[in-house]
Amino acid sequence: MSNELMQALKELEKERGIPQEALIEAIKSALNTAYKKNFGTTQNVSVELNKMTGEVQVYAQKRVAQQVKDSCMEISLEEAQIIDPTCEEDTMVNVEITPSNFGRIAAQTAKQVVVQKLREAERILIYEEFSEREGEVVTGTIQRIESKSVVVNLGRTEGIMLPSDQILSERYEVGQRVKGYIYEVKNTSKGPSVFISRTHPYFLKRLFELEVPEIYEGLVEIKSIAREAGSRSKISVHSIDDKIDSVGSCVGPRGIRVQNIVTELNGEKIDIIKYHRDPDKFIANALSPSKVLSVWIDGEGKKARVVVPDYQLSLAIGKEGQNARLAAKLTGWKIDIKSESQAEEENEPDD
């Protein structure tokens, strides 16, 4: 241990932001543990580190006695007064007991502590960086697949894509480039855990923000999203400026913008719906591509009764009820869909 150590600690404080005082205290604590482990003592021992020179000294606290019975715990008055002329009988005095070979142990211990503190500081920096990036879309390379979770290399750390965050129809392979949405960052004892998703509704929202300048600039707003990842999604959009076509902006010239997103999601169908503040019109739009004849609103129960042409009933409901289910989720209304003939039968008076 030498002045070089103290200089190194100063550099770490300057470059990595690790306080020198915190490093010194950590080294001292580790040295105390190392001494007791290597020299096995019952004495009240403390290890001191000189902040100026980096020199390490071990002290044992001994009671000043007129007659010494236990040399490990006691010291004679004559010897004690050589160390501290003011000490008296039955007082405590610190006696240096630094072993000759303790310098090597101290150097190894200090190195281990510094390495550990560097790792801790790096973990904190990574956690802070990715915490600020929650809600962003990131791109990484699949590093490994373990317990059905996909581990993605994000550069300074790894992203975890749990089974629930994976699109069922997709196949993931090591070395594959993949995009994901950071929805949570946890600080654990092993370092930060960054959770990414390809199924999150906001992943779709962020893809539209990246692809559609009008959304990114705030001219077109995404009002709501209903998503069944890998199969089909609906998003409702509203233009702040009446001169801007909200749906057209998202579709893009020759459909290129929405097609880029569909390609990223490996063929997931996307319905872009024009938002309307009137619930009946919004619900009618949400059931696209089906044509809607009429919508009756029950405001109290937030229920809607929708009538569609007979030939479009199956289209309105969708395969396994998907279209109706997504429309209900998108609008926040419970939707009961009837064909025109069904509605007429229900309205006919009883004989």
Q: Which CATH class is domain 149-197?
A: mainly beta
Q: What is the chain's alpha carbon radius of gyration, rounded to the nearest angstrom?
A: 35
**Residue from 62, 88, 87 nearest 74 by CA:** 62
Q: Is 203 exposed, middle or buried (0-12, 13-18, 19+ CB in 10 A)?
A: buried
Mean pLDDT of the chain: 88
Q: What is the pLDDT of residues 7-29, one digit of tens each?
A: 777 877 777 777 777 777 887 78
What is the pLDDT, as a whole number, of residue 196? 97
Contact 30, 112 (CB under 8 A): yes
Q: Where are the domains of the chain?
A: 3-129, 149-197, 276-351
Lowest mean pLDDT among 72-76, 105-109, 145-149: 105-109
- Number of neighbouring beta carbons within 10 Å of residue 84: 12
From CA 327, how far away is CA 283, in angstroms rounded? 7
What's the pLDDT tens digit per position in 111-160?
777 777 777 777 888 898 899 999 999 999 999 999 899 999 998 899 99
Q: What is the pLDDT of residue 236?
A: 97
The predicted model scores a pTM of 0.72
pLDDT band, very low/low/confident/very high, at 181 (cuts 50, 70, 90): very high
Quote the CA–CA distance of 336 and 298 in Å, as a whole number: 11
Do the first three CATH levels of 149-197 and 276-351 match, i.e. the same topology? Answer: no
pLDDT-derived band at 184 (thresholds 50, 70, 90) equals very high
Instruction: Measure the CA–CA gap between 64 and 81, rounded to whole angstroms.
Output: 9
Phi, psi of 34 (to 5 degrees): -65, -40
End-to-end CA distance of the chain: 105
Q: Per DSSP, what are the bridge partners of residue 141?
A: 153, 177
Domain 276-351 has CATH 3.30.300.20: yes
- If pLDDT is split at 50, 70 and 90, which confidence band does 46 have? confident
Are the beta carbons of 117 and 18 closer than 8 angstroms? yes
Residue 67 has pLDDT above 70, yes or no: yes
Task: Choose the weakest-confidence range: 201-215, 283-297, 337-351.
Answer: 337-351
Q: Convert the pLDDT of each residue in 241-270 to its tens digit.
A: 989 999 999 999 999 999 999 999 999 999
Average pLDDT over residues 180-184: 97
pLDDT at 3: 67
Q: Which pLDDT score is estimated for 351?
A: 46
Q: How confident is the model at residue 206 (pLDDT cuts 50, 70, 90)?
A: very high
Q: Which residue has the tokens 């000189």?
A: 50
Q: Tell me what percent of the residues of the chain surpass a pLDDT of 70.
A: 96
Using alpha carbons, select from 193, 180, 23, 181 the residue that is nearest to residue 123. Answer: 193
Q: What pLDDT is recorded for position 306?
A: 95
Question: What is the rounded average pLDDT of the residues 160-167?
Answer: 96
Q: Which fold has domain 3-129?
A: N Utilization Substance Protein A; Chain:P; domain 4 (3.30.1480)
What is the rounded distance in angstroms from the CA atom of residue 208 to the CA atom of residue 252? Answer: 11
Per-residue pLDDT, 348: 65
